[in-house]
């Protein structure tokens, strides 16, 4: 994007100035790898850059200290740091996650391509990043789980009125008397066999709203290994990565 770039220094803060043909105004961005970059449009008076950096010093120092905190968090307790790779075992997808700091109050999430995710904006704000990752995961889970559940239902002759995906603490799924099936968002991190078991489990509740012997007979028709799968579900929380399970 840049036609030229050079280094600068202001109050002990080092930065790179990039002259961009596409930029319409000067802006600052920060990343843990490159530090501070000042992007300016062509024709921008370079002599104005130090004053610009100076005027944003409070923001720069704040972001710098969050980067430092992230680094020590990563070194200390790996689980708390935001993910660089997300393994979505339950839907057979792997996504790399990039973070780009921009002088903005919010965080935007973009699918750059297959398996490439980018968070941009106030990415030093841990909670904002988690919230947008969760929103994205929910959309992804709804999309993939809905088609899988509908396929399982139509092949096996079950009637489903609706499906929802929610992040829940203690239940993997539920089925209402009206045939609405709710699936826990955390299933997206589980082995596909267990995801399928939960779907079969809830689909069979559209026929038997209980855990009677007849209910389990029905489950066995579609998942002969249901007993082993049901036992595994009790320990399946361990498949959920720490960065995700730590929040609510
Ligand atoms: Zn049940």
In sequence order, the 6+-apart residues with CB closer than 8 A to the CB of 128 are 106, 107, 121, 122
Percent of the chain with pLDDT over 90: 67
Cα(89) to ligand 1 centroid in Å equals 23
Question: Residue 4: phi, psi to the nearest 5?
Answer: -155, 155
- Positions of E strands within the chain: 2-10, 13-20, 27-31, 35-41, 85-88, 93-102, 107-113, 116-121, 162-166, 173-175, 180-184
Beta bridge partners of 8: 15
Distance 25 CA to ligand 1 centre (A): 58
Q: How far is the CA of 180 from the centre of ligand 1 (A)?
A: 13
Residue spans of alpha helices (H) in 48-125: 49-55, 57-76
Token pair 């709804």 in the structure block, residue: 142
Report helix angle 192-205 to 226-233, nearest 10. 100
Average pLDDT, whole number, for the chain? 90
How far apart are the CA of 86 and the centre of ligand 1, in A?
29
Residue 248, pLDDT score: 46
pLDDT above 80 (res 211): yes
Question: Cβ-count burial of 172 within 10 angstroms (0-12 exposed, 13-18 middle, 19+ buried)?
Answer: buried
pLDDT above 70 covers a percentage of the chain that reads: 93
Q: How far is the CA of 119 from the centre of ligand 1 (A)?
A: 37
Q: How confident is the model at residue 79 (pLDDT cuts 50, 70, 90)?
A: very low
Domains of the chain, start order:
2-56 (no CATH), 137-245 (3.30.2010.10)
């Amino acid at each position: 994007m840049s036609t030229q770039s050079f280094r600068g220094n202001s109050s002990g803060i080092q930065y790179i100035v990039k002259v961009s043909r596409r930029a319409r105004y000067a802006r600052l961005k920060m990343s843990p790898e490159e530090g501070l970059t000042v992007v300016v449009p062509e024709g921008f008076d370079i002599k104005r850059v130090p004053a610009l950096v100076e005027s944003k010093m409070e923001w720069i120092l704040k972001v710098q200290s969050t980067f430092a905190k992230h680094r020590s968090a990563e070194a200390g307790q790996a689980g708390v740091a935001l993910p660089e790779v997300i393994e979505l075992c339950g839907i057979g997808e792997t996504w790399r996650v990039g973070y780009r700091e921009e002088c903005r109050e919010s965080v935007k999430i973009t699918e750059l391509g297959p398996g490439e995710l980018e968070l941009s904006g106030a990415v030093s704000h841990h909670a904002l990043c988690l919230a947008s990752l969760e929103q994205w995961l929910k959309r992804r889970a709804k999309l993939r789980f809905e088609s899988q559940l509908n396929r399982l239902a139509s092949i096996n002759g079950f009637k489903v009125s609706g499906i929802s995906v929610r992040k829940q603490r203690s239940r993997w799924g539920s089925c209402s008397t009206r045939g609405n099936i709710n699936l826990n968002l955390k299933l997206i991190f589980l082995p596909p066999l267990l995801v399928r078991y939960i779907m079969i489990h809830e689909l069979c509740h559209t026929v038997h709203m209980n855990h009677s012997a007849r209910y389990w007979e029905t489950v066995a028709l579609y998942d002969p290994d249901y007993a082993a799968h049901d036992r595994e579900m009790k320990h399946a929380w361990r498949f959920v990565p720490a960065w995700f399970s730590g929040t609510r």
